[in-house]
Amino acid sequence: MHETFFTLAIVWMVGLLGALVLLASRQRSSADMLMSVDTLGLVICAVLALYGATRGEAGYLDAALVLALLSYVQTVAGARFLHHGRAFHDEEDTR
C-alpha cells in the first residue's frame, strides 16, 4: 500500500517537473525565472526524498539535502544579483 502511494507521488512529481521546466523556459523577467528554478529544485528534492523512502536507501535523502542546500545558495545569490547587480560585494564597497 505504501509503496503504491510513493510510486504515484513520484509519478505526480515527475509530471510537475515537466510543467516547471516549461514554466521556467517561458518566463520573461529574471525574478520570475529565479523563482521557477527555485521551485524546480524543491520538486527535485521531493522526488529524491520520495524515491529514497520507497527504496529504503538513505543515499537519496543525503542527495536531496545537498541539493536543497545548493538550491538555497542559488536563490540567495540570484536575489542578491537581481537587487545589487552582483552576487557578492567587493572589499571597497563595504564603507
Tens place of pLDDT per residue across the chain (95 aa):
677 888 888 888 888 888 888 888 888 888 888 888 888 899 999 999 988 988 889 999 999 999 999 999 999 888 888 888 766 666 655 55
- 35 occurs within a structural domain: yes
The reply to whether 94 falls in a domain is: no
User: What pLDDT does residue 94 have?
Assistant: 55
- The burial class, CB within 10 Å (0-12 / 13-18 / 19+), for 54 is middle
Residue 45 has a pLDDT of 93
pLDDT reported for residue 92: 58
User: Could you list the residue range(s) of the whole structural domain that residue 78 is in?
Assistant: 2-88
**Residue 52 in domain:** yes
- Tell me the pTM: 0.75
Total number of domains in the chain:
1
Q: What pLDDT score does 63 carry? A: 94
- Grid cell 500500500 in the structure block, residue: 1
- Asked if residue 62 is part of any domain, the answer here is yes
Q: Which residue has the cell 543515499?
A: 59
Residue 44 counted as domain residue: yes
